[in-house]
Chains A and B, each alone.
Chain A
């Protein structure tokens, strides 16, 4: 590994962490609140699919509104806050100095969260837009953009003020995500909400935006964290670091073209899904290179951080392969418009969330200068999350496949189709509930660590980092 990271590795608790403690803790707290809120909404949303009459009399919670509310909570609330917190922490650590501009960060985060809240209320009261993953009402969107600029400012300062001129892979991914988000967010707002383009061009731009949100924002942040955590914990040089730069650019260049894979057979130019299929294949080059560099991730040992990182990374690889395979016309004919797409989205979300959980488990004790108050809650969160995601994704995938094959047989009525997939959705709801329990455990543990008084005894634990990460076994 390069010298960049080893400079800060010698002292685990440093001024770098303590100086940004308050600001980053606020972001993490907000992100966990949204994670739990989004989990509740997602559970209600899933229950409505197997029991359509659930909450049907309440106009705030129609199936469509709940879906928009849960996606907004999870993407802008959970991923937005946690992603920025992790990116800034990584950039300040690798930049070798304390985070500057934390006032901007706090103000930006405050307004960002007000924006998400207004957005969710706006959806509940009937102001949602028609674009998936961009459902927040148009009056909230400009606020989000300005708030984002404030939140990302410390990241830019950490990049420009870095001690070391040469940069590390983590920094490329983190700064690319911070820099590209406002670009495509503002372009999507402009072309879809304020000066809407005509007809089905809206569907193309909306698909482009939704894909960028994952490929150019959530994925780079997760990979940034992996490039930091894995070599640091394993204490080994990455075997193919020389290729890392090609992996980075292939994600940025090809990932953004994949949006059209959901438009196969739709009223848009036929080349759009074809290009998306090609891009989904080419982007696998990125995954291969990251895989080569993360080879040590699968070996045993190494606490809950590495275990979260491992499963998150496997979800990331599996998601990419499934996205590429099911972007082909033959298979999409079955899986298009079904729960299979929900499974693909959950897989993407799982890869991001699991890697964020790994990072939070590593970062929070260092930020607050104390070990997690309850190892039991850490273990509970870990087990519930891994099991919950695995069951959720598999059951949605099976339900989607059944639904797709049945829909393509016109002799089977809608009632029969629904009766076939209903048991799997019950399983998926149980998994969603389990995820909620796990995430609540994380929230409780985090609130408790905020109130732990840093004492000499707890900081002595940092001299043996192994004690810090509660073991999951």
Chain B
């Protein structure tokens, strides 16, 4: 191989091709994706998360929660995601259009969290319960004690203090980071039935109806 310029041009072109195909190709497909406006409900989906939840996402990112938790539900026929109660439909690109840093994750040491807020709601779990779980940990998840601070009670108790853990005269208060993280986790919901999220199921009964 003697032709230096052609060699470098070839290298450059090979990488540009994959970049154009994957990055620009996906951009062409998803770049214009808009929230879906539902006329009946008079709202656009997905709904924007409240500001406190967006700040909580940064805590989720910097603690590296994504190293054990995914936020993507696979379609019901692919794996046991639906059977484990993680979501009744697959996650689609539209679910993430409002997220600055979608963290779909690549490891499931813990459960998927794409619909964590929905599950907590159904189980009647409040923010205080979630904070207690973060403080105590579970069998597989470590306790995140550094997200809480113990302080002396001066005057009245803080109304967000955890119940029954601190010694007398002290209280255990979640830091702002813990509060925002909990708000973020409780905001995670992928509920709206977008047309593209319906599983492909050829239904013979409906065929004549259209």
Contacts and interface: CB of A to CB of B under 8 A. Distances in A.
Residue among A64, A187, A259 facing the most chain B CB atoms (10 A cut-off) = A64
Interface stretch (B117-125, B135-143, B153-161): B135-143
Interface residues of B, number: 70
B54 interface: no
26 contacts: A49-B109, A56-B142, A59-B146, A62-B64, A64-B66, A65-B62, A66-B64, A130-B101, A166-B1, A179-B11, A184-B19, A198-B97, A199-B97, A199-B102, A200-B102, A201-B23, A204-B22, A204-B23, A208-B18, A259-B22, A265-B78, A267-B91, A269-B25, A275-B22, A407-B84, A410-B85
Nearest to A259: B22
Residue among B7, B31, B67 facing the most chain A CB atoms (10 A cut-off) = B67
- Listed from nearest, the 5 A-B pairs whose CB atoms lie closest are A64-B64, A56-B142, A410-B83, A64-B67, A126-B62
A408 to B, nearest CB: 5
Interface in A396-421: 407-410, 414-415, 418
Interface size class for chain A? 35 or more
B2 A165 contact: yes
A249 interface: yes
Interface stretch (B69-77, B164-172, B179-187): B69-77
B143 A409 contact: no
B82 to A, nearest CB: 8
A266 B108 contact: no
Contact of B140 (A160, A212, A266, A415): A415
Give chain B's interface secondary structure class: loop
Nearest to A69: B64
Interface of A: 48-49, 52-54, 56-59, 62-68, 126-130, 132, 159-160, 165-167, 172, 176, 179-180, 183-184, 187, 191, 196-205, 208, 212, 216, 245, 249, 252-253, 256-257, 259-260, 262, 265-269, 272, 275, 329, 333, 336-338, 341, 407-410, 414-415, 418
B18 A52 contact: no
Nearest to A269: B29
A183 B102 contact: no
Given A63-B67, A197-B23, 10 more contacts: A65-B63, A68-B64, A126-B63, A160-B4, A183-B15, A196-B101, A202-B101, A203-B102, A208-B19, A267-B72
Nearest to B57: A130
A148 B23 CA distance: 24
Contacts of A414: 110-111, 139-140
Contacts of A65: 62-64
Residue among B7, B21, B100, B109 facing the most chain A CB atoms (10 A cut-off) = B109
A176 B13 CA distance: 12
A265 B90 contact: yes
A205 to B, nearest CB: 5
B104 A266 contact: yes
B143 A56 contact: yes
B18 A257 contact: yes
A163 to B, nearest CB: 14
Contacts of A127: 62
